[in-house]
Amino acid sequence: MPILTFNLLLDGLLQQQSGVARAEQLIEAGLSRSEILAHVEGRRWQRYGDHCIVTHNFVPTRPQRMWLAVLEPAGPVSLAGYTALESAGFKFFGQEFESIHILVRRGSTSGHGPGITVHESRRFSDVCIDPRSAIPRTFLPRSAIDAAAWQPFPRYACGLLAAVVQQKVCTANDLEDELPHVGRVRHKPHMRLAIQDIAGGAEALSEIDIARLCRRFGLRPPDRQSIRRDHRGRKRYLDCEWVLFDATIVVLEVDGSHHIEVANWERDMKRERGIVISGRRVLRATANEARHEQRELAEDLLAIGVPRVVRV
């Protein structure tokens, strides 16, 4: 094989797989077993597991650890859940996930290594792996549903789905289409309602809480994330607003913990002044109230004039 072709094959392989390969892949690219062994024994390269080689001698990076996780086991295998979403650029509440999640067929004994969380599924085969992705991973809607189902609490599951759509990893319609095919998974009823709320415009966990509050106490649902202009003509994004029967506009601002920070607090004060000057009435609540004190918040919304849903 000509040297130029050999270099192109090897360079292309290592570039695509972040410097990680199975030994047989390196052989197919033109290296001999003795050459691979010489690199490993010379400590220029490292062997990981029974089959994989990292073509440097320092600590593998996060992308390289992902490749090791999917290359070392016998297939089919793919990144799944959080890690599949992470490979698409997703970040969940600023968290860093140490463990790498992979999906294998039910009954497989492959992939059980340090720092790897293995999930088994009867619904997993080669057709579940996204062919458009450089690294093997499940299709992103399934990845999102799986990651949500692996959350310990339904609220976190719903928050993850909202964040996935907000970050444009996939759409609410994508999630809605995928949900009927996931089988009996944890939090499925909660996810179904959350996806409906997200499809209706909810972009944050607080908005999902307000949507549930309205259903629970029979209040008319608000417009969500409405874009308005303040008295200076600047665009403002309002959490929730209702136009009352007398044409008065009521705005509910739901504050998360980040609003406590001084810079955010001052910005919120300026924003609220602009809303009030424009003629709207503002109510503020904490995310904790929207989540855990819904009855009291609903009573306040009724007191200011938010109407109930008329049942016919």
* Torsion region of 228: left, alpha or beta (phi above 0 gives left; psi -120 to 50 gives alpha): beta
CB neighbours of 127 closer than 8 A, spacing ≥ 6? none
Say whether both 222 and 297 belong to one domain.
yes
Say whether both 189 and 240 belong to one domain.
no
The residue out of 35, 57, 79 marking a domain boundary is 57
| Distance in angstroms (rounded) separating the CA atoms of residues 112 and 133 | 23
Say whether both 229 and 176 belong to one domain.
no
206 within a domain of the structure (yes/no)? no
pLDDT at 5: 46
The residue out of 17, 41, 57 marking a domain boundary is 57
Give yes or no for residue 3 having a pLDDT over 90. Answer: no
pLDDT per residue over 13-48, tens digit each? Answer: 999 999 999 999 999 999 999 999 999 999 999 999
- Backbone phi, psi, residue 20, to 5°: -120, 140
| 25, 89 Cβ separation under 8 angstroms | no
CA distances from 211 to 38, 199, 206, 223, 251 (A): 63, 12, 9, 10, 15
Q: Which two tokens stand for residue 60?
A: 């593998």
The residue out of 199, 233, 265 marking a domain boundary is 199
* pLDDT range class, residue 155, cuts 50, 70, 90: confident
88 within a domain of the structure (yes/no)? no
Which residue from 82, 171, 87, 181 is spatially nearest to 128, judged by alpha carbons? 181
pLDDT per residue over 174-205, tens digit each? Answer: 999 999 988 888 999 989 988 888 887 766 77
125 within a domain of the structure (yes/no)? no
CA distances from 219 to 151, 193, 211, 282, 302 (A): 30, 17, 9, 17, 8
Q: Which two tokens stand for residue 59?
A: 């600590």
Residue range of the domain that includes 186 = 142-199
Q: Which two tokens stand for residue 278?
A: 């424009």
Number of domains within the chain? 3
